[in-house]
Structure 1
Amino acid sequence: MIRVSEAAALALHTMVFLAARPDQLVSNREIAGKIKASEAHLSKVLQRLARCGFVKSIPGPRGGFAVTKKGGDSTLLDVYEAIEGPLDAEPCLFQSPACGGRGCIMGDALNVATHEMREYMKKRKLSQLAHTIAKLNPVLKA
C-alpha cells in the first residue's frame, strides 16, 4: 500500500494548480485558500519545490510562485519523490503481522499495486494533467 503524506499531497495539488497557470504568479495565501491548506505548511512545501527547481519564487508584495519549465515538464512521480523519496511499497498492511514478514497472506499484491501506481505517476506530466483536471475540478481552474 502506498502512503501519501500531507506534504506530498500539498506538493502534488500545488503543482497541478500552478501548472494550470503557467504564466501567473500566485501567492502562498491564494494557493492555500484554493487547496484548503495551512499557509505555514504550504510555505514549507513551496520552499522544497523551489529548491528542487519545480517552482520559482518572486519575493515582494506583487510576488508569488510560478511553475518553472522543469516543473511543468515534471511528472507526478517526480514531485512525489522530491518530497517523499523513492516510491516503495509499505512492508505490511497490518498493525502487528502474525507472519513476521514471511509468507505474507497478501502475496505479491502490495508490490504489484506499488508498481502500477509508479507507472501511472511516471506517465502523468503536470502540464497535461493541469488542463484535464481543470475542466473537472473548479478549484484548479485558472
Structure 2
Amino acid sequence: MANILYFTEAASIGIHGMIYIVQNKNKVNILQIAEAIGASKHHVAKVMQKLVKDKYLKSIRGPSGGFILNKEPNKISLYDIYTSIEGEIETEQCPAHNQYCPKNLCIIGRYGTEISRQLVSKMKEDTLDNFIEN
C-alpha cells in the first residue's frame, strides 16, 4: 500500500530518539536509543550528532556517557528536530514537478501545499513536553 506522507529514516530516528530521551529523564546512550526504536546504532549515532551540533542535545563522553537534552522540553518542537536533520520543509510543491500542468492549475500541488502547511504548523506546535509520561 502506498504511503502519501513519508518521513526519512533519519527524521524518524531523530524524532523518536528525542522522545525516548525526554521520556527517560536521565542520560541515555546510543545502544539504548537504537534498541528502543529499532534502528541501527550507527544511524542513530549520526542523527544524534546532528542534534548535538544544533544544540538540542548535549553529549556526555566516556564509558558511562550518553545524551541529555540541552534545552527544556517545551523549547524543542518536532519541527526543530526535523529541520535539524533534514533542513527546511518546502511547503509550496507540486509532486509531479510541473510535468503535467501549469503551476497555477496544479490540483495535486494545491493539496500538497495545503497539507504541508498544516503539517509544519502542527510540528511547530508539538514540543517534547507533550510526550512526557506522568
Q: TM-score range by the shorter chain?
A: 0.7 to 0.9
- Secondary structure of the corresponding residue to residue 82 of structure 1: helix
Provide the identity percentage.
Answer: 31
One-letter code of the match for 1:122?
A: K
Q: How does 1:1-142 map onto structure 2 within 5 Å?
A: 3-22=6-25, 24-70=26-72, 73-89=75-91, 91-94=93-96, 97-99=99-101, 101=103, 103-106=105-108, 108-131=110-133
Q: TM-score, normalised by structure 1?
A: 0.80
In the alignment of these two chains, the number of paired residues is 131
Distance 2:10 2:110 in 1: 28
Relative contact order (alpha carbons < 8 A, sep ≥ 6): 1 or 2 greater? 1
**Do the aligned partners of residues 4 and 15 (structure 1) sit closer, same or farther apart at CA in structure 2, a change above 3 Å counting?**
same
Give structure 2 stretches of 5+ with no counterpart.
none
Mapped contact 1:71–1:126 kept (Cα < 8 A): yes
CA RMSD of aligned residues (A): 2.3
Give structure 1 stretches of 5+ with no counterpart.
133-142
- Secondary structure of the corresponding residue to residue 112 of structure 1: helix
